[in-house]
Structure 1
Amino acid sequence: MKNIVLLCSFIFSITAFAQIPSNANPRTGTISGKVVDANTQNALPYVTIVVKDALNKSVTGGITDDKGTFLIKQISEGKNTVEIQFIGYKTIEKKINITRLNSKIDLGTIQLKEEASQLNEVVVVAETSTVSQKIDRKVINVGKDLTSAGTTASELLNNVQSVSVDSQTGNISLRGNENVRVLVDGKPTNIDASQLLKQIPSTSIKSVELITNPSAKYNPEGMSGIINIVLHKNSNIGFNGSVNTGLTMGENNRFNGSMDMNFRTGKVNFFANYGFNDGKRENYGVVRRSDNNSVQNFQMLDDRASHLLKVGADVYFNDKNTFSFYTTQNMTDNLFNGGTNVTFNNNLNSNSKMIVDGESDSQAYNFNYKIDFNKKGHNLEFEANFSDSESPEAANYNELVRPNDLTTNYDDKIVNERSSKLYNIDYTNPLSENSKLELGLEARYNETNNSNVTTQHEFIYDTNGELIDDGNGWYETKSKDFTSFDYNRDIYSAYINYNHKIDKIAIQLGARFEQYEVDGTFVKGAETLKYSDEIFSVYPSAFITYNPSDKNQFQLSYSRRVDRPSIGQVNPIREWSTPLITSVGNPNLKPQFTNSYEFNYTKQHNKGSFTIGTFYRRVNDNINRILNIDPLDEDKVELSFSNTESNDRYGFEVSSNYKIAKWWRTNASFDLYTQKESGLANGEQVEVTNNSLNFRLSNSFTASKNLRFQLFTMYRGGGESIQFKVDPMWMINTGASLNVLKGKGTISLRVNDIFEGMKFKFDSENPYPQSGQFNWESRTAYVGFMYRFGGGKNKAKGRKTRDKNEAQNSGGFI
């Protein structure tokens, strides 16, 4: 809180200084006029009027009223410039000359035109989605995707090209690689991405940005790139909003709802978004081992209720100073019930149950202050972001075996606390019409505190194999163990980017310099282990873009990136996963580095667009998930992580958006990846070449002005890693929407995975020959209703470019 108060004091001090006027000429003049929209001729309220003197200094100003009119008094004599500014419109300048004989000037009706789209992007608009192919990313507006209605972010992302989400673990991958960085509104979160995606309702999401080869301006984490989830934030004039609610029906029913609203008045815009998800999800599967003729049957039920709130404000002090603030509050209650039956030679050996009662509360606060200098595009931005999260768990593991065999019961009391602070400064200076310099500094501080108290109990049997109740619930306490893991990371970085345009060619060269420091302490009983590391790295990047015409774009890019071990990968506390699987982290993991090369071509035509691209990556010290024989029990396997040898990854992608007919539009993507990987698996040297083919096809049909249908098909090819072979998955979804209440309401219907093609099926020979399959509630039906109120035109103040992850001019860009 101290940091926040100091930051706010600093910001308001700068603002107060920036607004001090200076003019010695007599103030005798007045100007008046009216501002309207050039297309609709509607009056525009709250338009900023700035009066500048002959030295181009702001001396006075005002805003238009609800009728679009303005009257500004006490203007200095002499030549002045009047600027009419409104966000989303082109600024207009008017030259005036105030004299004693001409002191009252009426500018009449001033017509403002909306800003045109940037030249450095190719925008494709579809009924099903809005896809923007920008210089270094794809931006997918998922708000109109019928087959994503009523889902979570985890389910929604499975419909996004190049992205896959593992329905078992929740792990997200980009181009078949799980080493991807997930951001929300351009900011990192303290919640594990696999859990976070299950907590965000799809109705709270505005767009998804895929940044496969970020420039040096961005943090280098995420070997395969960055996925940025942008939440809704309205800034329409007046009071506006929408309400969205729906019911998903399957083996279990789930409810979702959200509310999105804003109030824009004068120089302040307040906005808020609230999303809610509640319901149960069932998951079941089987794993068979042929070496010992064992079968594990799994049955899992996840009962989850999540709340996500985003509230903030943008304050426009004047045309040069803007202050923005927002907070996100995430609250989740989760009750997980899991059961596993293990049989050997068709005889029941054990029946284990796991109950985990947990919750997660996280808060994030973001402050942003921007100063615009006189030269267009010349600015300085300050940003601070503070976040905290707590996710305590109470877990009970209960294993019953045959009478007279040792049977145990465990209780875990787990505390997970994380906090982070981020401070950064960005400076942008257009050196000329065709060149730009970007500089920045950043400091990040992350603290993680994990602790676990495990209480072991033992059941008591009589000579007949019957449980004896000793008054303590059929068991007695045998022992208690305490483990903890503190993990702190500090990262200090600076970057430089230089952009230069020569005719139709744009070049960006950059480098990021980072000092990475980590300290960890592991405590188990009387044993204490220390972990520390310091690494200084340089991350260069280069982009070359060639635009032979407005409808053609070629781009070649390079970047160096890193994937640092997560807390879950290095935490050496052994976790009981199933009766035959134990998971444990590896505190000796090293970061993995990658050199990434990409080439893309985008063609825009009258009926849509076409993009083709290819990439190559060289990965050093690859971090890989490994199954080994458990050193404490040879009948079990140990799930952990290790650094394997370097590998090569390359692929080919094609995406297209095409309007086949006035009533039919299609959006398709296809990709093929190849990955060569080698490493140790249970002490054996293994080398594999994995080929994976994926495609998505979405068709949108407009039956009438208010009625629309959608058909979505997805195929995800199988794959092979050092230890596993995975079968392909596929699904077909369909949806429909009907506008009602004069277009202010929309009724949505959808059915997902109609033929139940989504299932995880695998085979493995190492460390034991085994095969398995897991299923989940993939076939569901949904009915929802959305109502919109208000109708002001959206003239949002752009958030910081780092938040929006957008390209600037002809340079690459987090």
Structure 2
Amino acid sequence: MIKKIKKVILLFFVLSLSTSLFAQTSSIEGVVVDSKNQLPVDFANISIYTVKDSVLLNGTIANQEGKFILKNLKAGNYYIKVQFLGYQSKLISDLNLAANQKLNLGKINIALNQQFLNEVKVVGQQVQSVNKIDKQVYKADQFVAAKGGTAVDVIKNMPSVSVDGQGEISVRGSKGFLVLINGKPVQTDAQTILSQLPANMVENIELVTAPSAKYDPDGKGGIINITTKKGADDGVFFGVNLQGGLPSVRTYGNKESQQRFGGDVTFSYKKAKWELSASANYLRNDNAGYREGDVFTIINNIKTTFPSNGERSFDKYNYGGRFNIGFNPDKNNAFSIGFFAGYKFQDRLADIDYDNTKTNLSNGQVIGRKQYFNSNLQNKQGDFVLGNFDYAHTFSNKSQLSFSTLYEFANLNGSTKNRNIEGATIFQNTLNTYKNPLNGFRTKLDYAINIGKGKLESGYQYRLDKQDGDFIYSEANTSGNFVVIPAFSGEVKATNQIHSVYSQYAGKSGKLEYISGLRYEYANRDLTISSDPNPHVLTFNNLFPSANILYGLNKGWKFKAGVSRRVQRTNNFELNPIPEREHSETLEQGDADLLPEFIYLAETGFTKSFNKGSFFSTLYFQDIKNPIQRVNSVYADTILNRVFTNAGRAKRVGLEVGTNLEPTKWWSFYAGANLYNYNIEGTIFNNSVEVRNEAWVYSINLNTNFMLSSSLSLQGNLNYLSNRPTAQGEDSRFLSPNTSIKKTFLKGRLSALLQWQNMDMGFINSNKQRITTFGSDFYTTTNYIYETDVFMLNLSFNLNKLTKKIKLPGSEFGEKEF
């Protein structure tokens, strides 16, 4: 009896297992084709749902022949949705799948979305830029000249943005702005972090010139948000870029030959509830260079002149890796975790010959002359780590609660070796070293709910950043041993804490869009210096109001206006009072009591969309309290003391315009320009020196592309920045023209790009910048000459699931990202 029971149980188990396996062997297959030309629609997205509760059961992607198969399905009632960019969605219902059935749907015809194409007629010709209520959005792909470079090479083409010869980035003439990467703020300075991000990984750039209250109020120039490439739909994306530099055309007599090579790889995968993206890069980008200078100082009626010239070159490289994982367990919850780790290295060599002459101004007699050689090697390097976690929950009433936290670490360190040599004698040998690690933490909680015709958003944020700097200055004695000089050495510890809350309401009524909000902030800055027993504490309570409107007029015209209050916070470089001998001529230091800048911004303008492109113009005004300036004074006969200080008040009134045009199918054109008047008035050096300077400044960014054939294109690019006033002088104009030619293979998956960077040809005077400052007892002017006529070759391969035989506009990224 027991044996019979065991046999029945075993038989029942085998039948159950067989039935279960049998039920899982059903499948559905088919071929997706274009309804008009019957060509396969490769990489179309197929999703299967249960009829009972409309739950997404599974999904797949059609292959290059348009074929797909959904396997391991249970018997039941289903419906299928077929989707692809630019096509109308196709719904196949009433699919009654029997056990072990292999259902073949045959050809599934999908039609082009005429409404989508009509809309693209207005927007698609100008997909390279989109104007929104509080920002302008630009696609990075239009700037081929940036390929193989960094994010700096991309953003310098924006109409509001300029980059000078020192690599300093300005937005509407302001060097202070907030950087976001995929919406996440970074606390390391903009130039450093953007030079870590490969241009090939940049999807698009947002310029938020009148930020609303939900954003941090940091940055008088507004916000630049960089979004990086990732998968758009279910499937796999894989891309590889390699680049190398051709031999230098000009060497400027530099000791070493420049090396230029690098590469990056990007991988993304999205399937059902999961999304993964990862990338890695390496870039070596040395630059040859030269400098010419002329300086004089006056002390006790003795004038010392020391003109100079010599090498100024850079060896630099960086590498890093990133990944992001997203998980959406259901339609109400979303998790995301991201990580970045990288390293950056830079050596700047300045080998300069000086001709020093002393003259008694009372009688014009030369009382001394000396010729000497200065070798100055400055090193900067750092490890960078960023990590973030995000969670969002959507409630049944469509309100949303989101939480995010961000950690950032930058292990910044470096040194400056400075030797003055006369003949065979080293008469001065100094060494500056520093370690200045940064730890930053940020967490925020936001809640958004629909009220009336708009959305109310509120939130709280806490920010903390710490730097623990150790700065050592030493001089070699007669024995060649380095001895620490206490007066120029010490520790500087800085802690910044910020608590902020905000609330804003955004809505739309007819043709009017609006956003209005208020942010409150409590900020505490605590700076301690080992050589100073007095604490340097600064506490602020501030309100940051903001308001924006966008009104639709007739015939594609829109009117916009915005106001906001901003703050430009001080960094530790500006605060550090310990002098650093950056090179032979200068001793640099900050001010521990430096005040942040407070800025009121206002802007108004128009945008226009038309069949062949788009146009915008914006008039803006900035009122700047406590403008931070870098000024010089005489420290010794051949040394200027360069310090940071507040200098009264400054105002900037400007106009920026931009356009994207596509006059023909084979020619596209982009132009952006910014013109402003800058006025600064105040006093420096404890009110002993009056500052009054005013000038008009403009910048022009041009980009044009010619499609010579379906696989061959030629692009020209130009960035121009005019003379700019400073508190004590002027920075000269800066010009950088570039040309690129691109050839694609394998239906666009493989491309070769030849770049001619910083074109000069011996007569354009590109990639040069002269910086001049002066006072009652000094004058200094230095012409920095950077390498021109650089040739680079880039190879790119993209296994991109969105590559199509039918040419479709790429404008829908605006729908995905914004």
**TM-score normalized by the length of structure 2:** 0.81
Change (3 A) 1:672 1:52: farther
Q: Is the CA contact (8 Å cut-off) linking 1:289 and 1:771 kept in structure 2? A: yes
1:533 alignment partner AA: L
Indicate how the Cα distance of structure 1 residues 52 and 448 shifts in structure 2: closer, same or farther if over 3 A, else same: farther
Is 1:678 the counterpart of 2:688 in the alignment? no
Say if 1:374 and 1:298 are closer, same or farther in 2 by CA, change over 3 A.
farther
Gap regions ≥5 residues in structure 2: 1-25, 62-67, 96-100, 252-257, 297-302, 359-368, 805-813
1:505 aligns to 2:512 (yes or no): yes
Match of 2:264 in 1: 258
Aligned counterpart in structure 2 of residue 758 of structure 1, from 759, 764, 767: 767
User: How far is 1:349 from its partner?
Assistant: 4.0
CA gap of 1:329–1:579, structure 2 versus 1, over 3 A, is: same
8 Å contact from structure 1 (residues 149, 782) kept in 2? no
**Residues 444-483 of structure 1, C-alpha deviation per residue, up to 9 Å, x if partnerless?**
1111111123332123xxxxxxxxxx5xxx4564756751
Matched, 1:286 2:286: no
Cα distance in 2 for residues equivalent to 1:283 and 1:749: 23
CA distance in 2, matches of 1:120, 1:486: 54
- Do the aligned residues in 2 keep the contact of 1:243 with 1:787 (CA within 8 Å)? yes
Relative to structure 1, the CA distance from residue 530 to residue 243 in structure 2 (aligned partners, 3 Å threshold; closer, same or farther) is same
Distance across 2 between alignment mates of 1:118 and 1:395: 60
2:19 matched to which residue of 1? none
Equivalent residue letter for 2:772: D
3-state SS of paired residue (1:281): coil
The one-character-per-residue Cα deviations of 1:376-395 (angstroms, maximum 9, x if unpaired) are 5x322111111212123244
Give the match for residue 614 of structure 2.
609
Give the equivalent residue in structure 2 for 1:11: none
Deviations 1:571-619 (A, max 9, x none): 1111112222111001111111111111121111111111111011111
Q: Secondary structure at the match of 1:412?
A: strand
SS in 1 for 2:437: strand
Offset at residue 93 of structure 1 (A) = 13
Residue 344 of structure 1, CA deviation: 1.4
Q: 2:348: which partner in 1?
A: 336
Aligned amino acid, residue 445 of structure 1: L
Stretch deviating more after TM superposition (734-743 or 109-118)? 109-118
Work out whether residues 353 and 374 of structure 2, in 8 Å CA contact, stay in contact via their aligned partners in 1. yes
Measure, in 1, the Cα distance between the counterparts of 2:647 and 2:52.
Answer: 64
Q: Name 2:549's counterpart in structure 1.
A: 544
Q: Name the SS of the counterpart of 1:203 in structure 2.
A: helix
Tell me which residue corresponds to 2:410: 389
User: Secondary structure at the residue paired with 2:156?
Assistant: helix
Residue 180 of structure 2: which of 180, 183, 194 is its match? 183
8 Å CA contact 2:157–2:702 kept in 1: the answer is no
Distance 2:272 2:74 in 1: 19
Distance 1:293 1:43 in 2: 70
- Shift of residue 533, structure 1, vs aligned partner: 1.5
Q: Verify the 8 A CA contact 2:90 2:110 in the aligned structure 1.
A: no
Please show how residues 479-518 of structure 1 align to structure 2 within 5 Å: 482-518=489-525
- Residue 605 of structure 2 aligns with an amino acid whose one-letter code is N
Match of 1:209 in 2: 206
- Distance in 2, Cα, partners of 1:318 & 1:72: 21
Out of 154, 162, 165, the position equivalent to 2:163 is 165
Alignment check: 8 A CA contact 2:151 2:195 kept? yes
For the residues of structure 2 that align with 1:374 and 1:313, how far apart are their CA atoms?
A: 26
1:553 to partner: Cα distance: 1.2
Q: Determine the structure 1 residue equivalent to 2:657.
A: 654
Q: Does the Cα contact within 8 Å between 1:553 and 1:601 map onto a contact in 2?
A: yes
Match for 1:366 among 374, 388, 393?
388
2:611 matches 1:585: no
Match 1:296 to one of 296, 301, 308 = 308
Q: 2:275 pairs with 255, 269, 276, which one?
A: 269
> Aligned match of 2:428 in 381, 401, 408?
408
Tell me the distance in 2 between the aligned counterparts of 1:743 and 1:688: 53
Give the match for residue 519 of structure 1.
526
DSSP 3-state at the match of 1:167:
coil
Q: 1:43 to 1:497 in 2, by over 3 A?
A: same
**Structure 1: which amino acid aligns with 2:386?**
A
Residue number in structure 1 paired with 2:365: none
Residues 83 and 788 from structure 1, CA distance in 2 versus in 1: closer, same or farther, beyond 3 angstroms? closer
User: Which runs of structure 2 are paired with 1:360-759 in the superposition (5 Å)?
Assistant: 360-375=382-397, 378-401=399-422, 407-432=427-452, 434-459=453-478, 474-475=480-481, 477=483, 482-524=489-531, 527-549=532-554, 551-630=556-635, 633=636, 635-681=638-684, 683-755=688-760, 756-759=765-768
3-state DSSP of counterpart to 2:320: strand
Q: 1:544 to 1:70 in 2, by over 3 A?
A: farther
**8 Å contact 1:35–1:43 — kept in the other structure?**
no
Q: Cα distance, 1:666 vs. partner?
A: 1.3
Post-superposition shift, 1:785? 1.0
Structure 1 CA distance, aligned partners of 2:446 and 2:90? 29
Q: What's 1:153 paired with?
A: 151
How far does the alpha carbon of each residue in 1:412-457 deviate from its partner, in whole angstroms, 9 at most, with x for none? 332121111111122221223x221111111111111111233321
1:311-338 deviation per Cα after TM superposition (whole angstroms, max 9, x unaligned)? 1121121122121111111112333333
Structure 2 match to 1:464? none
Could you say which residue in structure 1 is the equivalent of 2:47? Answer: 47
In the other structure, the counterpart of 2:779 is 769
Q: Which of 1 and 2 has greater Rg?
A: 2
Q: TM-score, normalised by structure 1?
A: 0.82
In 1, distance between residues paired with 2:272 and 2:816? 27
Matched-pair contact (CA < 8 Å) for 2:472–2:484? no
The answer as to whether partners of 2:125 and 2:661 remain within 8 angstroms in 1 is no
Question: Which structure 1 segments of 5+ residues have no match?
Answer: 1-29, 99-103, 460-469, 795-803, 809-814
**Aligned residue identity for 1:367:** F
- Report the more deviating stretch, 254-263 or 130-139: 130-139
Match of 1:134 among 125, 132, 135: 132
Quote how far apart the aligned CAs of 1:155 are: 3.6
Match of 2:236 in 1: 239
Contact 2:416 2:581 in 1 (8 A): no
Shift, 1:268, TM fit: 1.3
Change (3 A) 1:399 1:530: farther
Tell me which moved more, 265-274 or 576-585: 265-274
User: Secondary structure of the equivalent of 1:147?
Assistant: helix
What amino acid sits opposite 1:567 in the alignment? N
How far apart, CA to CA, are the structure 1 residues paired with 2:28 and 2:801?
28
Matched to 1:565, the amino acid is T
